[in-house]
Structure 1
Amino acid sequence: MKKIVLATVAVTCLAGSAYAADMAVKAPPLAAPVATNPWDVAFGAGIYSDYNFRGISQSNRGPSVNAYFEPRYNVNDSLQLYVGAGGWSIDFSNKASAEIDIYGGIRPTFGKLALDFGVWYYYYPGGQCYNAAVPGDCAYNGNILPNAPLGGNVIKKDLSFLEYFAKATYTFNDNIAVGGAFYYDDNWLNFGFDAKYLSGNVKLTAPSNWLPTGYGLYVSGEVGHYWLGTTDAFYGSIRLPDYTTWNVGLGMTYKVFTVDLRYYDTDLSEASCNAITSDFNASFSPTNITAINTNGLGSKWCGQAYVISLKADLTYGSSLK
């Protein structure tokens, strides 16, 4: 009897082992990890009632369009490398009608803190030169502008310049973000001096349950200060004034689209604005005669401005897949 029981137990154990072995063989293999493509591309376009750059109109208070294309490489979840190219339609006093932007940089993030370090080149093709005060001066700065600004305004053919920047944004939560930025221009608008621009900004985003699905609402503002310098001899070796600029606006988003209404202003007088811009629409007033603006012309390119824009911003990785 004892032998029969032992034999039964042995057969049962062998059968169980065989069944377990059979189950191991038939078990499905572990799923391979999903490969993530580190490359992405951001691109977009917009139309603006005025291209206002740091408080100064770049489009003669008229409409402007822009577009950009930005390939990105995500080294990991906290580090991104990028390059980009873009363009704006402009209306400068030297008859340049386009701004071409070429840029690149690195974006590290540390939790709620996002940083951005890079370099930006502003290229303004198609410009022409004018300086009636110094015969032959344009021979060193480009061809003579046929329909030049009147009243003594002067302008170079080439206003292109290189800029280095550092930005930081801290996102407290889904509704509050604050930031700051510093820009260094090695030869601002080819005036012959380096310039520095420092700004701070805040953005308040409405809670998602305030609006229908897909919509967003925000209020944002910025205050910045530009430190300028003394021009080269072409512009009379004058000290251009430092200035402060600010803007505040309300925006609504829907998926990849944004509509933004924004108010811009500066503390520049019309005379100082003319000295900086050589505005071809400048008008004369005795009150505009100053040590750096002896022709008495005044420009409205730096004053109060309301700008409405419609933009679309997409990324291949999230917007199109």
Structure 2
Amino acid sequence: MQRRGAATDWQLGGVSIAAFVGLWLAPVAGNVARAETAETSASGAIGLGNRAWSAAETSHATSVNELEFSARAGVASDYVYRGTTLSGREPAAGAAFEARFGSLYAGATMATVRLPTEPVGEFTVAGGIRPKIADINFDLGVTYFAYPGEKFPGVTNGINYWEAAVRGDRSIGESFRIAAGYAYSPNVSNTGAWSQYLAAGLGYDVPTRQLPKNLGVSFTTAVGYSWFGNQAPQLGSFPLPAYLNWQAGVTFTYKAVNFDLRYYDTNLSKENCFVFTGDPNARAGGRVDPITNPAGLVSNWCGPTIVAKAWFAF
């Protein structure tokens, strides 16, 4: 088939999803505002498929009648979302800003990416509400994802899209937290396919009395499942591979400085990893599928990896 820069037409379904992977559950990326003391680590968010730099990853104990702002910026050894790299297994940087008034919020993020469509970066805007009902902290929001400057926008003319998501968090005792979330897009990454995602996670915050002053330590883990509708006819009319992902790690916080060390993986085969991501560096030698992967190309963009991430949060 005719090449379009780094990807063929039939690869663009995977190309689009590579962008989508890093942005899933955007408005529910971090902890919902909880009633907690200032000493509690706000950086050990239970990540349910969060994008890399969401300001929402910091807990926000807001006043009903006060306008508040938060921001964060940092670097990571790899930009990984649900086990799939968005930076081509290379380092990435990002920043985020969020404004809140009571339970309402709006924010924006930017991040460096290395996607087959070659955008200049990843930019998002989001808005929503974070109410507390009974003992559950909810986050309901809508996010628009933009990838300006794509050199190879493909037959769908780009991968911009929007999604809606809901998440709930609950504390259990002094140190344990549980979370679950769901997200839906009617046209994920402009492929013509709907997408759905379910995830759940668990967190443990080391009690502050057991730690030095101003130090927070959180252990978190989560698992999620993604599935999709059929893409547009020009992308093959087939659904992208449904798959599981999981991650676990530890987050250290000292005042505004945060450091996270985390393991990611998926159950995608190397052949389906190529179908999913459109990895331009994929190599031959895999199992041939006449519909989704006629060249039998394989990719390592979805395999096990350990990521180190450091950022400042204000």
Classify the TM-score, shorter chain: 0.7 to 0.9
SS in 2 for 1:298: coil
In structure 2, the gaps of 5 or more residues are: 1-62
Question: Is 1:95–1:128's contact at 8 Å kept on the other side of the alignment?
Answer: yes
Give the equivalent residue in structure 2 for 1:109: 132
Q: CA deviation at 1:257?
A: 1.8
Question: Is 2:194–2:230's contact at 8 Å kept on the other side of the alignment?
Answer: no
Distance 1:56 1:97, change over 3 A: farther
Q: CA deviation at 1:36?
A: 8.4
Give the equivalent residue in structure 2 for 1:267: 267
Give the equivalent residue in structure 1 for 2:69: 41
Give the equivalent residue in structure 2 for 1:127: 150
Give the Cα–Cα distance (whole angstroms) in 2 for the partners of residues 239 and 119 of structure 1: 24
CA deviations over 1:287-318 (Å, ceiling 9, x no partner): 3556411111111111111111002222xxxx
Give the Cα–Cα distance (whole angstroms) in 2 for the partners of residues 110 and 237 of structure 1: 41
Q: After superposition, where does 1:18-97 map in structure 2 within 5 Å?
A: 38-74=66-102, 80-97=103-120
Structure 1 letter corresponding to 2:221: G
In structure 1, the gaps of 5 or more residues are: 1-34, 75-79, 131-137, 142-155, 315-321
CA deviations over 1:207-230 (Å, ceiling 9, x no partner): 112211000111100100001122
Structure 2 letter corresponding to 1:93: P
Give the Cα–Cα distance (whole angstroms) in 2 for the partners of residues 63 and 161 of structure 1: 25
Question: Is 1:229–1:241's contact at 8 Å kept on the other side of the alignment?
Answer: no
After TM superposition, the score normalised by the length of structure 2 is: 0.76
CA deviations over 1:91-133 (Å, ceiling 9, x no partner): 0001113110100000101354211100011111111337xxx
Give the equivalent residue in structure 1 for 2:203: 203
Q: After superposition, where does 1:130-209 map in structure 2 within 5 Å?
A: 141=155, 157-209=157-209
One of 121, 145, 158 as aligned partner of 1:98: 121
Q: Which has the larger radius of gyration?
A: 1
Question: Is 2:256–2:312's contact at 8 Å kept on the other side of the alignment?
Answer: yes
Give the equivalent residue in structure 1 for 2:276: 276
Question: Is 2:221–2:246's contact at 8 Å kept on the other side of the alignment?
Answer: yes
Give the Cα–Cα distance (whole angstroms) in 2 for the partners of residues 224 and 253 of structure 1: 26
> Identical aligned pairs, as a percentage?
31
Give the Cα–Cα distance (whole angstroms) in 1 for the partners of residues 309 and 286 of structure 2: 36
CA deviations over 1:218-252 (Å, ceiling 9, x no partner): 11001000011221122222221111101000111
Distance 1:280 1:73, change over 3 A: same
- Structure with greater helix percent: 1
- Runs of 4 or more off by more than 6 Å in structure 1? none
CA deviations over 1:34-56 (Å, ceiling 9, x no partner): x9851101111121111112221
Structure 2 letter corresponding to 1:50: D
SS in 2 for 1:287: coil
Give the Cα–Cα distance (whole angstroms) in 1 for the partners of residues 216 and 288 of structure 2: 45
SS in 2 for 1:60: coil
Give the Cα–Cα distance (whole angstroms) in 2 for the partners of residues 96 and 277 of structure 1: 15
After TM superposition, the score normalised by the length of structure 1 is: 0.75
Give the Cα–Cα distance (whole angstroms) in 2 for the partners of residues 234 and 163 of structure 1: 22
Structure 1 letter corresponding to 2:89: R
CA deviations over 1:142-165 (Å, ceiling 9, x no partner): xxxxxxxxxxxxxx5511111100
